[in-house]
Amino acid sequence: THSTRPQRLLSAVQKNATRGDPSSVVKAIDQFCRQKEWAMNVGDEKGCILDLVVSEVNPTFVLELGTYCGYSTVRIARLLPPHAKVITLEFNPDFAAIAHQVIAWAGLEDKVHLIVGASGDWIPKMKEQFGLNSFDLVFLDHWKDRYLPDTKLMEECGLLRQGSILLADNVICPGAPDYLDYVRRSSQYESQYFKSHLEYTKVEDGLEKSIFLG
């Protein structure tokens, strides 16, 4: 009976992190990924940029596309004010099950709503399901060829308001060229590139922060 990498990542959290201490969960995952096995978390270097943007936006409603093991969910939720929420979508049920336990270990269940499903199916249902008008911050970290269609879908569904922030991971590696082109050319967005590195490596990658101008 062989474990999966997400299962081994969760074990490392349960072994090395303190229950209810989100920062120790973040640290335990980064240590596991640096010392034991690479995993596709946003990581510590890009994670600091994510922290800066979250702190600056101070969002009430966050949408995360692509939960994976919940690393960035924990990074985001640990910085939110009391009644703020992260809604995070993950379509792989095995990854979602691990993420649920990582988020619980961090003690952040009350700030996080994890949905097992595909962004394309769920974005149109967000308003009715959660009684919200728009997202203050969207963290795009799912299939890179879904960044652009899902951004257009969020626009069409009226989920972005003047000042909503899109923050996209991996715009260089693996890359989201059509998305980058769109947000950088469109007069509806003010875009900024934060140069960094692919998690736990020296390969170039970066985050693109785009403000929806409405």
Q: Which residues are catalytic?
A: 141, 144, 169-170, 199
> Is 136 or 205 the residue whose CB approaches ligand 7JO more closely?
205
Least CB distance to ligand 7JO at residue 28 (A): 19
Nearest to Mg ion of 100, 144 (CB atom): 144
* Pattern 2-41, ligand 7JO, x by CB under 6 A: --------------------------------------x-
Told to check if 92 binds ligand 7JO by CB under 6 A, we report yes
Kindly state whether residue 170 participates in binding ligand 7JO, applying the rule CB under 6 A. yes
Q: For residue 19, give both structure tokens.
A: 């229950």
CA distance 33 to 47: 14
Q: Which helix (H) or strand (E) holds 105?
A: helix 93-105
CA separation for the pair 89, 159 (Å, rounded)? 15
Q: What backbone torsions phi and psi does residue 161 show, to the nearest 5 degrees?
A: -120, 170
Question: 124: buried, middle or exposed (CB in 10 Å: 19+, 13-18, 0-12)?
Answer: middle
Q: How far is the CB of 16 from Mg ion (least distance, A)?
A: 23
Helix (H, G, I), strand (E, B) or coil at 198: coil
User: Of 119, 164, 170, 196, which lies in the binding site for Mg ion, with binding defined by CB under 5 A?
Assistant: 170
According to CB under 5 A, which residues from 105 to 164 bind Mg ion? 141
In the chain, % helix, strand, coil (3-state, to 5) comes to 50, 25, 30
Contact of 135 with 164, CB cutoff 8 Å: yes
* Buried residues in 171-202 as b, exposed as e (16+ CB within 10 A): bbeeebeebbebbeeeeebebeebebbbbbee
Among 22, 47, 59, 66, binds ligand 7JO (CB under 6 A): 66
Q: Indicate which single residue of 12, 89, 126, 159 sits in contact with ligand 7JO (rule: CB under 6 A).
A: 89
Contact flag: residue 118 with ligand 7JO (CB under 6 A): yes
Residue 173 binding target from Mg ion, ligand 7JO, none, CB below 5 to 8 Å by type:
ligand 7JO
The site for ligand 7JO (CB under 6 A) is made up of: 40, 65-66, 68, 89-92, 95, 118-120, 141-143, 146, 169-170, 173-174, 198-199
The site for Mg ion (CB under 5 A) is made up of: 141, 169-170
